[in-house]
Structures are given as structure tokens and as C-alpha cells.
């Protein structure tokens, strides 16, 4: 990409990378690490006009997640997710969080004091957690 004068790299992440999600601690940690790596890459590769779009979907209906027992509020189809990703790439959005319901739920939980956010997150976890 350096030799060709730049380009766009799109990375699919997860809203779980912004919060410690019950029953998904290692997953959340890995996604947070990816978020920081992309932020660093933006700074390091900007001079080469290498740009990044980070996509942060909420819950997406897939074969892997079907019946996993984890609540999936505002779950979207894989097709709807793909459409969001394409739009984000066309706009070259720095960060694209979706759907809007889980985007704002994530933002609110980040703003709240940590004990309050933790209590709300636990309410989302299955009863047998």
C-alpha cells in the first residue's frame, strides 16, 4: 500500500471491545486490543495515506452464535451487517458502530460510573450466570 500511494483497510471489530461484557471477558479484551492496535496504525501509517475504517457491530445472527445462551439485544442479520460495513467503507468512516441501539447503549455504559455500568451489564447476563 505504501508503494501504491495508500489505500483503505477495513477491520471488523465488536462493540464488546468498548466494555467488559459478562461471559465474554477474553473476547472483550481481544477486541479492545485490536481497537488500540488500529488507533496506533492510523497514526503510524497516516503519512503513507493508509486509512482505516473500524467497524463495531453489535449482535449479528450467525450459525456460531445461534443458541449460545448469550442475550443478543437488537440482533441484526449477516446481510444487514454487511450493508453497514459497505456503507462505512464507502464513507471511509473512522469508526462505525451499529446498530444505533447498541451503539448508544455502549456509549451510555461507558459514561456511567463503573459500579453502575457493571450492575447494568450483569442484568443483561443470563439468569444462571
Asked if residue 1 belongs to a domain, the reply is no
E strand segments, 22-93: 50-57, 60-61, 76-77
**Closest CA relative to residue 51, chosen from 94, 97, 96:** 94
Global pTM reads 0.81
Classify residue 4 by its DSSP letter.
T
Q: How many domains does the chain have?
A: 1
Q: Is the pLDDT of residue 38 over 80?
A: yes
CA atoms of 120 and 125, how far apart (whole Å): 9
Does 18 score more than 60 pLDDT? yes
What does the pLDDT read at residue 12? 94
Under 8 Å between Cβ of 121 and 19: yes
Looking at the domain assignment, is residue 129 inside a domain?
Answer: no
* Average pLDDT of the segment spanning 85-107: 94
The predicted-structure confidence for 99-127, as pLDDT tens digits, reads as follows 999 899 889 988 999 888 888 887 766 56
CATH number of the domain at 72, please: 3.40.50.720
Q: What is d(CA 97, CA 104) in angstroms, rounded to the nearest whole number?
A: 9
Instruction: Provide the grid cell at 9.
Output: 483497510
Domain containing 56 equals 7-124
Amino acid at each position: 500500500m505504501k508503494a501504491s500511494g495508500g489505500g483503505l483497510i477495513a477491520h471488523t471489530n465488536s462493540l464488546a471491545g468498548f466494555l467488559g461484557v459478562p461471559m465474554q471477558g477474553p473476547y472483550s479484551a481481544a477486541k479492545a486490543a485490536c481497537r488500540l492496535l488500529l488507533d496506533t496504525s492510523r497514526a503510524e501509517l497516516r503519512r503513507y495515506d493508509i486509512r482505516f475504517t473500524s467497524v463495531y457491530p453489535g449482535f449479528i445472527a450467525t450459525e456460531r452464535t445461534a443458541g449460545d445462551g448469550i442475550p443478543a439485544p437488537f440482533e441484526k442479520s449477516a446481510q444487514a451487517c454487511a450493508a453497514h460495513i459497505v456503507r462505512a467503507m464507502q464513507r471511509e468512516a473512522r469508526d462505525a458502530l451499529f446498530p444505533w441501539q447498541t451503539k448508544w447503549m455502549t456509549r451510555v455504559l461507558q459514561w456511567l460510573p463503573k459500579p453502575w455500568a457493571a450492575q447494568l451489564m450483569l442484568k443483561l447476563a443470563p439468569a444462571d450466570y
